[in-house]
Amino acid sequence: MPLFRKDKKGSEEQFNIRDYYEFKDVLGTGAFSKVFLAEQISEPGFLVAIKCIDKKALKGKEESLENEIKVLRKLRHSNIVQLYDTFDEKQYVYLVMELVTGGELFDRIVAKGSFTERDASILMRQVLEAAAFMHENGVVHRDLKPENLLYYDQTEDSKIMISDFGLSKIEESGVMATACGTPGYVAPEVLQQKPYGKAVDIWSIGVITYILLCGYPPFYDENDANLFAQIIRGEYEFDSPYWDEISESAKDFISHLMCCDPEQRYTCHQALAHPWINGDTAGTKDIHCLVASHLKKSLAKRNWKKAFNA
């Protein structure tokens, strides 16, 4: 299947995206791309997000974009942001994506009036189900982090969506070795430049769960070398008094996800079977005040969240 809409002769003029979609507001702007709100002309009222990428900026990165498109075409899941269509025109490449309007995970939690362990458990179940589907289809995300977990819409019970597959990889050979990810969420084996696989996503889910329950990251240092050393050694604590009200089941769940040995680390299916996810051991006490106050500080410290791709 071709990656982009072109006519049979390969002309880039035959399919004009504006014959199919009416562009509306700008939703976001990056260094080399813009994201537009658009409406499908053949189905009035059906709104999408269209990422418009300048081809000049793509020079040398075509393979990365093609990989992202291949990955998204493999993944059809209710908790994964969908790719509907692609267009290749003279100056731009367009990705027509599912419109997701609910905002980033942590921003929504800060804005909520209450938040419990049970709420966190329900969220992470959805993330694990989507990750399990990815892994069953041979895809490793490699950059799971809160910014890539989006609420589908503004409703109180909105589902959560995994987005941004720019660093994802189809696990054809069984192992990978490229160091990439976001420092605070990356697994020890990646930093040690060892071959790695699906287990790196599980580690990241463990880090996200940890932050959801206390509002601050398990590993933090202004200096990347020190941060990486902490991660490689698996040096994290369930600090008192912040974790005193959190269930032992939650701590056990996190410990199985943030296990330094990838062979011993839980798989998605093992994580989904854990009582904190699958049972009734998640606490119901409101922890919003503590979590939100720490999250606000953490959100201000952006340098532990920047992605790298070595």
Helix (H) or strand (E) holding 21: strand 21-29
For strands 308-309 and 83-88, give the pairing: unpaired
Around 144, how many Cα atoms within 13 Å sit in the side-chain half-sphere? 26
Measured CA to CA, the distance from residue 271 to residue 218 in angstroms comes to 19
Q: Which bin fits 138, alpha (ψ -120 to 50), beta or left (φ > 0)?
A: left
| H or E segment and range at residue 184 | none
Q: Is 251 annotated as a binding residue?
A: no
- Phi first, then psi, for residue 120 (nearest 5°) are -65, -40
Q: CA–CA separation, 97 vs 1, rounded Å?
A: 18
Residue 143 annotated as catalytic:
yes
The catalytically annotated residue of 143, 164, 224, 280 is: 143
Query: Binding site for ATP: residue ranges?
Result: 51
Indicate which residues carry an active-site annotation: 143
Query: Binding site: residue ranges?
Result: 51
